C-alpha cells in the first residue's frame, strides 16, 4: 500500500459543511434543470466520495473518469451530468477543504514576542495540524498537482493567494519587523503546509504531535519575532530540549537501500554523444520544471531537439530514465552544496548564508521539476525512493550539527527543527520568486531561516539576530 493509503478514512460527507443550500449543477453541462434534486444530490456525493476513496490509494494522475464511474455504479455519461471532468470533482472537494482553512485564518489572534502572542500562534498551528490530518487525502493530492501545466493549479494558486493575504494583514497589524508582511505570510503559510506534507509522507521524523507543533510554532515565532525570549517559549511548549545531534531516521525510507550511481552509462558514448546526451538532460530538466513531469511527453522534449525519436531512445529508453538521471544529478549537486552549510551558517572561510542561498536557489530552480516528481511519487518508485533517501540523509547529516550548536534558552526537538528547515528550503525559492523592492529571494530566505532555525532565545534586539551577516533592507512587495 502506498503512503496515500494511510490517509484518514474520510467520506464526502466529511467535507460537506452544514448549509441548507440546494446543490446546483455547474453551468455548461448536464440537464437543463438547475436543481439536482435529492436523488441527484446523493449521486453527486457518491461520485465525490468514490474519488476521495480512490485517491487514498492512487495518485490523481492514475485515476480515470471510467474508474470513478465504475466504482460509483454509474455510466460515464451519467457522471458527466454532474461533473465535466475528474478535475471538477476534485475542485469540489478542494473548495470544501479550502473553506475550512479559510475559517481557520480568521481565528489567528494577535501576534507578538510576548507569551500571549506566542500562545496565539501555537494554538493556531495546533488547530491547523488537526485540520491537515482531517483533510489529509486532499492535501496529499493537492501537493501532487503543483506543476504549472496542471489544470487544477490555478484554482489552488488563487486560494493560496487569498489565504496568504489574510494572514499578511494579521502579521502587519502585529508589527513584525525586518520582513515584508506579504513575504512573512508566504513563508509562514507555505512552510507549515509543506512541513505537514512531509510529515504525512514520512519525509519527517516520527515525533509525537505535541512535539511537532511545538517545534513548528517555535520556529515560526522566531521567524516573525526574532527577539522573543526563551522563557516565552518555555512557558507555552512542553517539548524537551534536544542537545545531541543524533542521526535522523525517516519512516519513508525504512528498509530502502541507497541506489548505486549510474555513472557508467555516459561512458558508452563518444564526445559528440556525450554532448547530445547532456543537451537532452538540460532540456528535460527545464521542461519538467515548466510543465511538470507527468504533463511532459517525450515529444515535448524532442520538439526542442534536432533528434529523431529513434535516436533519442539510444540515449534514454524511457522518460523515467531521464528523471532517474536528473534525480541523481540533483542529489549529487545538493550533496556538494550542503557539505558547506555549516560554514555558511557560521560565516567562516569566506562563506555566508546569503551567498550560500544564492547557490541553493539556482540549483533548486534547475531541478524543481525533479524535486516535485520526488515528493509526489517517490514512495511509488524504488529508484526514486532510494535516491531521495540519499539526498535526505545528506541534508539531515549536514544540517543537524549547526542546528545543535545553537545555545538555545528554550526547549525544542532538534530533528523537528531540521524538518522545518527542510520544508523552508524546499518551498521558499518558489513562493518568494518575485523579488521585493529591497531584497531578492536568497536574501529573504537567509533572514527567515537564520531567524527561524538559529535563534538562541536571548531577548536581544531583532537586528542582532541577523548576525554575522548584515540583513538587507526588505521593502514592500509590489503586488505579490
**Residue 67: which CATH number?**
1.10.10.60
Burial (Cβ within 10 Å: 0-12, 13-18, ≥19) of residue 295: middle
Q: Are residues 25 and 120 in the same domain?
A: no
Structural domain boundaries, residue 325: 253-401
Query: How far is Cα 286 from Cα 3, in angstroms, rounded to an integer?
Result: 28
Residues 152 and 197 in one domain: yes
Regarding whether 228 and 274 lie in a shared domain, the answer is no
Q: Would residue 79 count as lying in a domain?
A: yes
Same-domain check for residues 34 and 119: no
394 within a domain of the structure (yes/no): yes
Residues 108 and 229 in one domain: yes
Is 293 in the same domain as 156?
no
If asked whether residues 313 and 345 sit together in one domain, one would say: yes
Residue 473 domain-assigned?
no
Residue 471: inside a domain, yes or no?
no
Which of 401, 423, 440 delimits the end of a domain?
Answer: 401
Query: What CATH code is carried by the domain that includes residue 288?
Result: 1.10.357.10
Residue at a domain's end among 84, 118, 150: 84
Q: Are 143 and 229 part of one and the same domain?
A: yes
Over its length of 480 residues, how does the chain's per-residue pLDDT go in tens digits?
A: 333 333 334 444 444 333 333 333 334 333 334 455 677 788 888 898 888 888 777 777 778 899 999 999 999 999 998 998 888 888 887 777 778 888 888 889 999 999 999 999 999 999 999 888 877 777 777 666 666 666 777 777 777 788 888 899 999 999 888 899 999 999 999 999 889 888 887 777 777 788 889 999 999 999 999 999 999 999 998 765 555 566 677 766 666 665 554 544 555 788 889 999 999 999 999 999 888 888 889 999 999 998 899 999 999 999 999 999 999 999 999 999 999 999 999 876 556 999 999 999 999 999 998 888 877 654 567 788 888 888 888 888 899 999 999 999 999 999 899 999 999 999 999 889 775 545 689 999 999 999 999 999 987 554 444 433 443 333 333 333
Q: Are residues 427 and 303 part of one domain?
A: no
> What integer pLDDT is reported at residue 44 of this predicted model?
87
Claim to verify: residue 375 and residue 446 sit in the same structural domain: no
Q: Is residue 112 part of a domain?
A: yes
**pTM score:** 0.78
**End of a domain among 24, 54, 84?**
84
**Do residues 427 and 462 share a domain?**
yes
Where b means 16+ CB within 10 Å and e means fewer, 239-248 reads beebeebeeb
Instruction: Examine residue 474 and state whether it is found in any structural domain, yes or no.
Output: no
Q: Has residue 480 been placed in a domain?
A: no
Contact 302, 312 (CB under 8 A): yes
**Does 282 lie in the same domain as 186?**
no
The tally of domains found in the chain comes to 3
Amino acid at each position: 500500500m502506498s503512503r496515500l493509503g494511510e490517509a484518514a478514512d474520510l467520506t464526502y460527507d466529511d467535507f460537506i459543511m452544514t448549509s441548507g443550500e440546494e446543490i446546483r449543477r455547474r453551468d455548461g453541462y448536464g440537464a437543463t434543470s438547475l436543481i439536482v434534486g435529492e436523488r441527484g444530490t446523493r449521486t453527486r456525493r457518491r461520485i465525490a466520495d468514490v474519488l476521495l476513496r480512490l485517491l487514498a490509494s492512487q495518485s490523481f494522475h492514475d485515476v480515470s473518469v471510467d474508474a470513478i464511474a465504475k466504482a460509483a455504479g454509474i455510466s460515464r455519461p451519467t457522471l458527466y451530468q454532474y461533473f465535466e471532468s475528474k478535475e471538477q470533482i476534485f475542485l469540489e472537494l478542494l473548495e470544501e477543504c479550502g473553506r475550512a482553512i479559510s475559517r481557520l485564518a480568521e481565528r489567528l489572534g494577535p501576534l507578538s514576542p510576548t507569551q500571549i502572542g506566542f500562545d496565539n500562534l501555537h494554538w493556531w498551528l495546533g488547530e491547523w495540524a488537526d485540520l491537515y490530518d482531517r483533510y489529509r487525502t486532499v492535501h496529499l493530492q493537492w501537493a501532487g498537482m503543483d506543476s504549472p501545466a496542471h489544470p487544477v493549479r490555478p484554482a489552488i494558486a488563487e486560494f493560496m493567494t487569498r489565504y496568504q493575504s489574510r494572514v499578511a494583514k494579521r502579521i502587519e497589524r502585529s508589527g513584525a519587523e525586518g520582513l515584508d508582511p506579504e513575504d512573512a505570510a508566504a513563508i509562514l503559510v507555505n512552510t507549515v503546509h509543506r512541513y505537514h506534507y512531509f510529515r504525512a509522507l514520512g519525509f519527517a521524523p516520527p515525533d509525537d504531535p505535541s512535539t511537532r507543533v511545538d517545534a513548528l510554532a517555535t520556529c515560526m515565532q522566531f521567524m516573525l519575532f526574532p527577539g522573543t525570549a526563551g522563557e516565552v517559549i518555555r512557558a507555552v511548549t512542553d517539548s524537551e530540549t534536544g542537545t545531541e545531534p543524533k542521526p535522523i531516521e525517516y519512516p519513508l525510507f525504512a528498509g530502502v537501500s541507497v541506489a548505486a550511481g549510474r555513472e557508467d552509462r555516459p561512458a558508452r558514448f563518444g564526445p559528440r554523444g556525450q554532448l547530445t546526451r547532456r543537451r537532452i538532460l538540460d532540456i528535460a530538466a527545464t521542461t519538467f520544471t515548466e510543465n511538470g513531469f507527468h504533463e511532459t511527453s517525450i515529444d515535448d522534449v524532442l520538439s526542442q531537439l534536432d533528434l529523431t525519436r529513434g535516436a533519442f531512445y539510444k540515449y534514454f529508453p524511457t522518460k523515467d530514465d531521464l528523471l532517474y538521471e536528473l534525480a541523481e544529478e540533483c542529489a549529487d549537486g545538493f550533496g556538494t552544496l550542503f557539505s558547506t552549510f555549516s560554514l555558511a551558517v557560521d560565516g567562516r572561510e569566506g562563506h555566508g548564508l546569503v551567498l550560500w542561498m544564492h547557490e541553493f536557489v539556482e540549483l533548486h530552480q534547475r531541478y524543481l521539476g525533479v524535486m516535485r516528481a520526488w515528493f509526489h511519487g517517490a514512495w511509488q518508485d524504488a529508484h526514486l525512493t532510494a535516491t531521495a533517501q540519499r539526498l535526505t540523509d545528506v541534508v539531515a547529516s549536514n544540517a543537524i550539527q549547526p542546528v545543535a550548536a545553537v545555545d538555545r534558552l528554550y526547549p525544542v526537538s532538534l530533528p523537528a527543527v531540521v524538518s522545518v528547515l527542510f520544508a523552508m528550503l524546499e518551498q521558499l525559492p518558489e513562493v518568494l520568486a518575485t523579488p521585493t523592492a529591497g531584497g531578492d529571494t536568497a536574501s529573504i530566505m537567509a533572514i527567515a531561516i537564520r531567524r527561524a532555525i538559529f535563534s538562541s532565545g536571548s531577548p536581544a534586539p531583532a537586528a542582532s539576530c541577523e548576525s554575522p551577516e548584515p540583513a538587507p533592507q526588505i521593502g514592500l512587495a509590489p503586488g505579490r
